[in-house]
Structure 1
Amino acid sequence: MPQFCSAYSCLNLRTVDVRDRGITFHKFPKDKERRKRWEIALRRDGFTASDSSVLCSEHFKTEDFDKTGQIVRLRADVMPSIFSFPVHLQRVGALLKVH
């Protein structure tokens, strides 16, 4: 079964072509509290991550990754923070900065 990124409107699918572009996929944390924080960060109404749910690397900052080994890993306790939300999901504070 193909693995799509769980982020709102992200179309990245775990394929060889996507991997060749340098995009990596990361499972949701097993820790229930951290997993819940990730789910809230996605702003997807009613979304609950499964054990196979993933987010792609495009939703994390460069400094969130540990690239010292052969496998790209997320550093401990990082939060996904890069999203392209539609207007109705943007925070009021973020909208005020635009004007």
Structure 2
Amino acid sequence: MPAHCAAYNCTLRRTIETRKLGMTFHWFPKDCGLRRKWEVALRREGFAANDEWVLCSDHFKPDEFDRAGQICRLRPGVIPSVIYVLIICQLCVCLYILNYFCHA
């Protein structure tokens, strides 16, 4: 069964095609504190993840992955840091990429 990425405005699904492209999908953490940090990082009002929600690799920086073995894993304690947010102003609708840890 394909899993959809939980990030706002992300249309990626876990399929054979996305796997061939090198995309990986990662379950929300079981640890309640870390799971809450992931939920907050997504900036989706009222969002509460369950055990079936996943995030695609597009929402993490390359150095946040452990690719030492055959399986691509996230490093311990990693929080999604590349999030797409829809910002609406009077003249236009713009899609911005926020990088939580690299802002001045």
- TM-fit CA distance, 1:87: 1.1
Structure 2 distance, partners of 1:6, 1:53, is 6
Unaligned runs of 5+ in 2: 89-95
Give 1 or 2: higher strand fraction.
Answer: 2
- TM-fit CA distance, 1:2: 2.6
- Counterpart of 1:30 in structure 2 is 30
Unaligned runs of 5+ in 1: none
- Counterpart of 2:40 in structure 1 is 40
TM-score by length of 2: 0.82
Q: What is the percentage of aligned positions where both structures have the same residue?
A: 51
- TM-fit CA distance, 1:45: 1.0
Higher RCO, 1 vs 2 (CA within 8 Å, ≥6 residues apart):
1
Give 1 or 2: higher helix fraction.
Answer: 1
RMSD: 2.0
Kindly provide the amino acid, as one letter, of the partner of residue 11 in structure 1.
T
- Counterpart of 1:11 in structure 2 is 11
Structure 2 distance, partners of 1:2, 1:72, is 18
> Deviation above 3 Å: which 4+ runs of structure 1?
none
Q: Which residues in structure 2 correspond to 1:1-99 (within 5 Å)?
A: 1-87=1-87
- Counterpart of 2:92 in structure 1 is none
- TM-fit CA distance, 1:69: 0.1
Count matched residues.
Answer: 92
